[in-house]
């Protein structure tokens, strides 16, 4: 699609990525502060509207660069909207991992299995920061080496699923996952929707709790985990990530 992009991208250059976020923060009037040294987040400075608040995060797995690239690309295209939005954005949850192209952080921890306790200092700082916050939409951006298309874990209210439309919106760039089962869970053309009670799901999470489930239980009306297939071209994966963010915001009435 765009060979120029593929030649020039700096998807694992954390400093270059964060420089772009500094420009977004400046342009949109967002505060950019550190959750922990080297791990910044951006937050609306002005009035906060809980019903319209959005949480966006990327890069908790460092070998999934379309998430971090998609998030910054989307933000750069939405400076005006960000100026009046209520948002909390984590541009890169695992900078060491992104730098090294590894799923885990520098201590060998899979951060996305750490949300059930506070022994990890970064997750502990995150949980503290999130205390009392509510969001209409939380979106966590990921990638998967085994995937053959885009897929989505959607946690939300029964009867209010937006997942099918999000995946359809991305199909211009990458088709929906066709496998009937992903990581042991049944999927319908790339969608796994879970409405209402999460207790059964929590019991299945023997490996440790991911960000999106914690968000849905404590902070968000809808929590989405979006995944692009890592074997597709980075340009297409980034385009799909941008499209998914945009579709999710539109379908929840936030843009
Ligand atoms: Zn991931």
pLDDT in tens, 161-215: 999 999 999 999 999 999 999 888 899 999 999 997 777 677 777 788 999 999 9
Domain ranges (residues) in the chain: 3-251
> Averaged over 80-96, what is the pLDDT?
98
> Averaged over 243-250, what is the pLDDT?
98
Please name every residue paired with 54 in a beta bridge, in sequence order, or none if there are none.
87, 137
| Ligand 1: centre distance to CA 64 (Å) | 6
Using CB atoms within 10 Å of the CB of residue 15, give its burial: 0 to 12 exposed, 13 to 18 middle, 19+ buried. Answer: exposed
> Averaged over 100-118, what is the pLDDT?
96
**Residue 31 pLDDT > 80, yes or no?**
yes
29, 55, 62, 91, 196 from 141: Cα distances, Å: 24, 11, 11, 10, 22
Return d(Cα 33, Cα 89) in angstroms, integer. 11
| Ligand 1: centre distance to CA 253 (Å) | 27
| Ligand 1: centre distance to CA 67 (Å) | 9
- Can you give the pLDDT at residue 183? 86
> Averaged over 83-105, what is the pLDDT?
98
**Residue-wise pLDDT tens digits, 119-149:** 999 999 999 999 999 999 999 999 999 999 9
Map tokens 């299995």 to a residue.
Answer: 113
CB 40 within 8 A of CB 32: yes
| Ligand 1: centre distance to CA 162 (Å) | 21
Return d(Cα 53, Cα 253) in angstroms, integer. 11
Percent above pLDDT 90 for the chain: 89
**Residue-wise pLDDT tens digits, 55-76:** 999 999 999 999 999 999 999 9
> Averaged over 25-43, what is the pLDDT?
98
Instruction: Give me the chain's average pLDDT, please.
Output: 95
- Can you give the pLDDT at residue 207? 81
| Ligand 1: centre distance to CA 194 (Å) | 19
- Can you give the pLDDT at residue 226? 98
| Ligand 1: centre distance to CA 144 (Å) | 7
Range with the lowest mean pLDDT among 91-105, 123-137, 180-194, 240-254? 180-194
What backbone phi and psi angles, to 5 degrees, belong to 151?
A: -145, 170
| Ligand 1: centre distance to CA 47 (Å) | 32
> Averaged over 218-241, what is the pLDDT?
97
The CATH number for 3-251, chosen from 3.55.50.30, 3.40.50.2300, 3.40.630.10, 3.40.640.10, is 3.40.630.10
| Ligand 1: centre distance to CA 90 (Å) | 15
- Can you give the pLDDT at residue 1? 59
Percent above pLDDT 70 for the chain: 99
Return d(Cα 237, Cα 168) in angstroms, integer. 14
Return d(Cα 251, Cα 223) in angstroms, integer. 13
**Residue 47 pLDDT > 80, yes or no?**
yes
């Amino acid at each position: 699609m765009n060979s120029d992009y593929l030649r020039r991208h700096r998807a694992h250059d954390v400093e270059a990525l964060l420089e772009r976020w500094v420009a977004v923060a400046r342009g949109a009037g967002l505060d950019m502060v550190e959750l922990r040294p080297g791990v910044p987040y951006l937050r609306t400075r002005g009035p906060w509207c809980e019903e319209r608040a959005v949480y966006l995060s990327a890069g908790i797995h460092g070998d999934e660069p379309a998430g971090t690239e998609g998030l910054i690309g989307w933000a750069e295209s939405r400076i005006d909207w960000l100026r009046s939005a209520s948002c909390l954005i984590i541009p890169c949850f695992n900078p060491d991992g992104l730098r090294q192209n590894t799923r885990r952080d520098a201590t060998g921890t899979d951060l996305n299995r750490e949300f059930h306790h506070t022994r990890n200092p970064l997750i502990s700082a995150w949980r503290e920061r999130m205390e009392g916050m509510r969001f209409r939409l939380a979106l966590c951006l990921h990638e998967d080496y085994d995937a053959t298309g885009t897929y989505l874990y959607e946690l939300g209210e029964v009867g209010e699923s937006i997942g099918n439309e999000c995946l359809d919106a991305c199909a211009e760039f990458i088709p929906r996952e066709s496998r009937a089962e992903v990581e042991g869970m049944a999927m319908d053309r790339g969608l796994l929707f879970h409405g209402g009670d999460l207790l059964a799901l929590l019991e299945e999470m023997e490996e440790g709790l991911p960000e999106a489930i914690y968000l849905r239980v404590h902070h968000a009306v809808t929590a989405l985990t979006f995944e692009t297939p890592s074997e597709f071209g980075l340009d297409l994966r980034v385009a799909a990530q941008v499209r998914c963010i945009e579709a999710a915001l539109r379908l929840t009435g936030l843009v």
